[in-house]
Structure 1
Amino acid sequence: MTDKTKLEHLVRAAQRGEPAALAALVGRFQPLVWAAARRLAPTPDDAEDLAQEGNLALVLAVRAFRPAGGAPFAWYAKRRVYWAVQAAARRLKRGRSREEATLDEAGAGGLSPVDLLEDPAPGPEDCAIAASARAALRTAWDRLTPRQRQVLSARAGGATFLQVAAALGIAPSSAKGIAARGTARVKKLLAGRV
């Protein structure tokens, strides 16, 4: 009896429910299961867990194997074991990366993931609001008298009322009055906008 024939007899016997045949098959495929587990284990300690997944896949492969499909059992079992071990290894890696990642701990550069999510740049809403405010201010500015624009521009540039008055040839109290009326007008025009 050839090795292939013995394997086919073991598979059929295991499918009929003979525990000795199933144990013989599991024993025969242990080198394959452990090779896959050791190769794909994220850490050496995980190899045993992956081997268990591989053995479970082997038992399920025995139950699901149909010789009429044309593939030999060894080929079928090898793929089922490898895929199961590979999937289990991925789950282990994903689970560990999720366990290790927190939103509070500082990472590279001393920044936590929360810090990385924060964007100091204004968002689209903020930009739209700022553009609208600039347009309203421009409209209000255009509605001031030329003298009010001169006085307020000089004051915004850091000039004192004494300096503004001297530059425009007016009294400092007049410069203060013009600035007050201009500021009040801008506030009134902008208040209707809010």
Structure 2
Amino acid sequence: MHAVHEVSESDDAARLLARAAAGEPAAWRELVDRNASVVWAAARAYSPSAVDAEDVCQVTWLSLAENLGALRDPRALPGWLATTARREAIRLSKARRRESPVGWDTGMLDLPDPGDGPESSALHSVAVSRMWQAFAQLSRRCQQLLRVVAVAPDASYAQVGQALGMPRGSIGPKKGRCLAALRERLATGGNVEEAAG
């Protein structure tokens, strides 16, 4: 019974890709709806700002549109999209570092202002600053994982794994270690020597 379910999913994905390649707008929208969280998670995990992640998503969807007829295994589409988004985000991130003398895109610090007055604003600013300082001390892998979890909280571990190129079974334990490391850095003011691996 399980093999029959996989065959029907594969046939469904193949038909959907064929319809999208033939220019059917409804099929394209369905492809995007089915895979948007994977693309966004991969783009956000490797992009320092939401604006860059949006650019990565656009390039990824454009790349899919250009390669619809070339995809051999429709079941591999989520992985192909995640890999494409990850590669584009890394390429864009390298380009941004060349543009920035500091190498740090402050766009990731663009958070809404609480607007409750100057005292609240100052406290919020200090808390945000401490949180980002602690976050910046985590390993790159932890930063990527926590970004994906933050921007796509409803994504399944399978989708997160595809977005980051991680085994599904390692995501929960890794997320727990990364959050514990972040909490520890916040509690100690960032004086912890090792980042969660």
TM-score, L = length of structure 1: 0.42
Larger Rg computed on CA atoms: 1
Task: Report the TM-score when normalising by structure 2.
Answer: 0.42
Larger RCO (alpha carbons 8 Å, 6+ apart): 2
